[in-house]
């Protein structure tokens, strides 16, 4: 029956020009979802990951069938079992990774004990920013996000990213209480991937070159040529010997603008095993003058002896002072290394490559002639050579332009640049934009410097803007491509403008070439970023095609879509419809949608972008009727079963709701799939339940508990909301289910209503 329903859904999808979207939603509907832990698992192909509590183990040993969160988990001799945070036992919370089988079981590749069962409840974890701390010390009530955290002397506090302070990002593990607070078991300060400047995380190894003479070694250290600032909160661990000049240490901390490091943790690191073998990475500081490079090298402060037996590998470039390398060898009594292998390494991870640096800044000074020589970028000296790659696609190198610099940091704080990329004007840019449009107004200047109007957008042109007009003149009515930096007021600071077609020229965009973009779920014109969209028009593609891989392709059968110049991932294309994923991060407002075909503009239209714009997919692809989703039934003993929400009625030749039977004992959960609500506020700081606190669902007018609301794990731009059907919800064959989502301004946005059948 499921197979017949799936085929029929695809047929209905074709009739309504939505085949790919429905097949994705229905595919999710038949994947088992763990109810105990927020009804959220992840899958990619047959890969599956979820959290659950162990309820049954094999009679002997660990190999065999386990029961975890209502699922059968098959553990073999090759399954990796991690028990660092607790022992495998009934009641323990575990993370399972493995292959999902056709019968719903999982062949486990890895099992990791997250923590054991604890008195008073189950441990949960969330991330957030510290908003408030106790008046003195750390014991007492903290506020993280909007959650009150009870911290006691028994709470383990790990200062991985510095001491706890207001504004610091942390991971909290603890037991949720009935009033919404949490009793903390562990709190760990963390670094965020988006942190920049003085909050950039760094980890490296090197030899101590200078130590302070102060008590507790508080003060400025020098490690591998870098200034390391040690404070009273720095964790100092002498695991492999005492701190001394020449000792090898591992440093974790935050990178400052002056390239010094505020240390969170320093530990001695012999870097060797019992056989004396050692492996480390560092920057070459000196090389011998021998033709074959044999002799004494200095790598990040450590003497490395290279002989004729040393394997020298230069896949990532030649050896030179400042180049980053990997060294393998034998540790000698004088702490030098007899090298077995030395390899250049173009590793660009700051944590693994202390010599590499990447930063943004504004050009303040340039060489007197040409570009080779010394630049000043936001106060930092940058040495540019003929080998430096300079990318000017987004603008020209001039004073005041914002750039991204990648290169090798030097001991004096300067940078030898590998690559410099122009990012745009320094004045308030919010992101790159590319779009096509028609010139509607031009400034009254001979060089076109000033404000243009292109398809309703203000385009700021200055002396650095590159105007390509080899084949067509600049004139009102000309069709142009604009590349630049989007400003906070919605205008664009243009880096490049290319005239594509003159007024009245063949193929010029006319009203008949307009397309309309709407939500693929409910066909409403209001959309939010990172949601699923359907564009309707004519001659959008030369044929039909569907995506078969992720990430989604940005070109199918020669058709592509640009939203304010940002390429969109494509689900499906046909001559009359294109289904695409609205790119994440598109700012609210009216955006220009351009459908390209074989490099030319096929159609244009606009789309209204909102912070949230919830929609719910329906089984018949009409935007009304029964939803595309499933029922999860949980019996009193915890056993779970999955039920369809619709069936195909051959007599009526249509999909009709399945009547959900209630017996007063089972808990019944409704899983709906939609789009456009993942950007709602996460006010409680709990990532596990997504944005559930900003979502309201009623079933037959009765408020329903929302357990989870966020992006459907493993799927592009598809959202998921999980609710428990209230016991007092009214019976009927068309019980209304209404989803509403609150935005950051407190305004409520309603999705299209759907119906279910309740006994």
Question: Which pLDDT score, from 0 to 100, does residue 355 have?
Answer: 55
Q: What is the mean pLDDT of the chain?
A: 77
Which of 16-20, 548-552, 725-729, 736-740 shows the lowest mean pLDDT across its residues? 16-20
Q: Domain 197-268, what architecture?
A: Beta Barrel (2.40)
What's the average model confidence in pLDDT over 110-123? 58
Question: Which pLDDT score, from 0 to 100, does residue 686 have?
Answer: 72
Residue 345, pLDDT > 50, answer: yes
Q: Give the confidence band of 130 by pLDDT, cuts at 50, 70, 90.
A: confident
Other Cβ atoms less than 10 A from the Cβ of 710: the count is 22
CA-based nearest residue to 704, from 692, 696, 716: 696
Residue 98, pLDDT > 50, answer: yes
Q: Which helix (H) or strand (E) holds 201?
A: strand 200-210
Question: Which pLDDT score, from 0 to 100, does residue 605 have?
Answer: 80
Other Cβ atoms less than 10 A from the Cβ of 243: the count is 17
The dotted CATH code for 429-501 is 2.40.50.320
d(CA 503, CA 438): 9
CA-based nearest residue to 183, from 239, 120, 129, 101: 120
Residue 208, pLDDT > 80, answer: yes
State whether CATH 1.10.3210.10 applies to domain 511-610: no
d(CA 645, CA 639): 19
CA-based nearest residue to 487, from 422, 400, 428, 434: 428
pLDDT in tens, 566-624: 889 999 999 888 999 998 877 677 777 888 888 777 888 878 888 899 999 988 877 88
d(CA 552, CA 583): 11
CA-based nearest residue to 115, from 130, 142, 144, 94: 94
Question: Which pLDDT score, from 0 to 100, does residue 350 have?
Answer: 33
Burial of 504 (C-beta count, 10 Å sphere; 0-12/13-18/19+): exposed
Burial of 255 (C-beta count, 10 Å sphere; 0-12/13-18/19+): buried
- Of the two residues 160 and 420, the one the predictor is more confident about is 420
What's the average model confidence in pLDDT over 199-206? 62
d(CA 735, CA 750): 17
Q: Give the confidence band of 418 by pLDDT, cuts at 50, 70, 90.
A: confident
Q: Which fold has domain 358-425?
A: OB fold (Dihydrolipoamide Acetyltransferase, E2P) (2.40.50)
d(CA 164, CA 195): 16
Beta-carbon contacts of 102 under 8 Å, excluding residues fewer than 6 positions away, are none
pLDDT in tens, 237-254: 887 778 887 778 888 777
Q: How far is CA 575 from CA 271, 542, 543, 579, 605, in A?
A: 62, 6, 6, 12, 16
Question: Which pLDDT score, from 0 to 100, does residue 737 have?
Answer: 95
Q: In angstroms, how far is CA 557 from the centroid of its own chain?
A: 28
Q: Where are the domains of the chain?
A: 35-115, 123-189, 197-268, 277-344, 358-425, 429-501, 511-610, 616-758
d(CA 397, CA 424): 9
Question: Which pLDDT score, from 0 to 100, does residue 359 have?
Answer: 67
The dotted CATH code for 123-189 is 2.40.50.140
Is there a contact between 734 and 755 (Cβ–Cβ < 8 Å)?
Answer: yes
State whether CATH 1.10.1270.20 applies to domain 35-115: no
Tokens of residue 499, six digits: 């005239």
- Of the two residues 356 and 526, the one the predictor is more confident about is 526
SS3 560: strand
Question: Which pLDDT score, from 0 to 100, does residue 279 have?
Answer: 66
Other Cβ atoms less than 10 A from the Cβ of 256: the count is 16
Two domains, one topology: 123-189 and 511-610: no
Alpha helices in 57-199 (DSSP H): none
For residue 513, report the phi and psi dihedrals to the nearest 5 degrees.
-95, 15
d(CA 298, CA 224): 10
DSSP 8-state secondary structure symbol assigned to residue 259 = S
SS3 content of the chain, % helix, strand, coil (to 5): 5, 50, 45
| Bridge partners, 302 (sequence order) | 299
Q: Give the confidence band of 510 by pLDDT, cuts at 50, 70, 90.
A: very low
d(CA 259, CA 222): 12
Tokens of residue 113, six digits: 């004990």
d(CA 373, CA 644): 68
- Of the two residues 426 and 166, the one the predictor is more confident about is 166
CATH of 277-344, one of 1.10.3470, 2.40.50, 3.30.390, 2.60.120: 2.40.50
pLDDT in tens, 298-327: 887 678 999 998 999 887 778 887 777 888
Q: Are strands 646-649 and 654-657 parallel, antiparallel or unpaired?
A: antiparallel
d(CA 63, CA 481): 62
Q: Give the confidence band of 117 by pLDDT, cuts at 50, 70, 90.
A: very low
Residue 37, pLDDT > 70, answer: no
d(CA 314, CA 326): 11
């Amino acid at each position: 029956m499921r197979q017949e329903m799936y085929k029929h859904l695809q047929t209905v999808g074709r009739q309504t020009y939505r085949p790919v979207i429905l097949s994705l939603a229905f595919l999710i509907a038949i994947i088992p979802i763990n109810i105990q832990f927020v009804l959220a698992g992840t899958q990619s192909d047959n890969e599956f990951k979820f959290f659950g509590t162990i309820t049954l183990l094999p009679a002997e040993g660990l190999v065999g069938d386990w029961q975890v969160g209502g699922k059968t988990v098959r553990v073999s001799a090759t399954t990796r079992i991690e028990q660092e945070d607790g022992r495998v036992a009934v009641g323990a919370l575990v993370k399972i990774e493995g292959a999902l089988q056709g019968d719903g079981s999982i062949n486990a590749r890895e099992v990791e004990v997250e923590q054991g069962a604890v008195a008073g409840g189950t441990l949960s974890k969330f991330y957030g920013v510290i908003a408030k701390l106790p008046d003195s010390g750390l014991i007492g009530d903290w506020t993280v996000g909007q959650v009150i955290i009870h911290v006691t002397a028994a709470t383990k506090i790990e200062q991985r990213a510095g001491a706890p302070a207001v504004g610091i990002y942390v991971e909290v593990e603890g037991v949720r209480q009935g009033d919404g607070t949490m009793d903390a078991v562990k709190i760990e300060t963390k670094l965020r991937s988006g942190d920049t400047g003085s909050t950039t995380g760094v980890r490296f190894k090197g030899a101590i070159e200078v130590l302070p003479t102060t008590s507790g070694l508080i003060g400025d250290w020098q490690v591998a040529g870098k200034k390391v600032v040690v404070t009273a909160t720095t964790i100092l661990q002498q695991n492999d010997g005492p701190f001394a000049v020449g000792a090898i240490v591992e440093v974790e901390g935050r990178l400052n603008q002056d390239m010094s490091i505020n240390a969170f943790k320093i530990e001695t690191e012999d870097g060797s095993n019992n056989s004396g073998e050692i492996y480390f990475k560092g920057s070459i500081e000196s090389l011998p003058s021998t033709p074959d490079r044999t002799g004494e090298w200095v790598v990040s402060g450590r003497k490395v002896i290279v002989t004729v037996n040393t394997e020298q590998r230069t896949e990532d470039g030649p050896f030179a002072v400042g180049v980053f390398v990997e060294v393998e060898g034998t540790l000698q009594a004088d702490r030098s290394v007899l090298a077995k292998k030395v390899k250049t390494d173009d590793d660009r991870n700051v944590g693994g490559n202390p010599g590499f640096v990447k930063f943004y800044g504004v050009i303040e000074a340039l060489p007197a002639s040409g570009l080779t020589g010394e630049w000043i970028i936001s106060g930092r000296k940058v040495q540019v050579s003929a080998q430096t790659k300079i990318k000017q696609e987004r603008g020209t190198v001039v004073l005041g332009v914002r750039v991204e610099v990648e290169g090798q940091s030097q001991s004096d704080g300067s940078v030898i640049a590998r690559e410099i990329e122009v990012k745009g004007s320094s004045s308030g840019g919010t992101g790159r934009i590319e779009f096509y449009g028609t010139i509607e107004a031009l400034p009254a200047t001979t060089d076109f410097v000033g404000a243009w109007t292109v398809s309703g957008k203000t385009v700021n042109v200055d002396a650095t803007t590159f105007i390509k007009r080899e084949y067509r003149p600049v004139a009102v009515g000309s069709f142009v491509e604009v590349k630049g930096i989007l400003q906070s007021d919605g205008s664009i600071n243009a880096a490049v403008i290319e005239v594509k077609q003159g007024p009245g020229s063949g193929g010029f965009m006319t009203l008949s070439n307009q397309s309309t973009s709407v939500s693929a779920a409910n066909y409403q014109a209001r959309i939010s970023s990172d949601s699923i969209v359907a564009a309707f028009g004519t001659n959008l593609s030369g044929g039909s095609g569907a995506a078969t891989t992720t990430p989604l392709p940005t070109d199918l059968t020669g058709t592509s879509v640009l939203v304010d110049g940002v390429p969109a991932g494509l689900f499906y294309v046909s001559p009359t419809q294109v289904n695409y994923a609205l790119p994440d991060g598109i700012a609210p407002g009216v955006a220009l949608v351009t459908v390209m075909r074989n490099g030319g503009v096929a159609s244009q239209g606009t789309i209204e972008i909102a912070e949230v714009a919830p929609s719910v997919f329906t089984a018949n692809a009409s935007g009304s009727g029964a939803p595309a989703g499933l029922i999860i039934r949980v019996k009193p003993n915890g056993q779970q079963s999955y039920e369809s929400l619709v069936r195909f009625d051959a007599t009526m030749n249509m999909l009709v709701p399945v009547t959900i039977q209630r017996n007063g004992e089972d808990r019944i959960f409704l899983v709906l799939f939609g789009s456009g609500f993942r950007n709602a506020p996460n006010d409680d700081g709990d990532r596990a339940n997504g944005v559930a606190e900003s979502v309201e669902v009623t079933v037959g007018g009765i408020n329903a508990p929302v357990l989870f609301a966020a992006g459907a794990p493993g799927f592009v731009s598809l959202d998921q909301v999980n609710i428990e059907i209230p016991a007092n919800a009214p019976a009927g064959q068309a019980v209304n289910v209404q989803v509403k989502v609150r935005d950051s301004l407190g305004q409520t946005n309603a999705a299209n209503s759907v119906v279910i059948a309740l006994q």
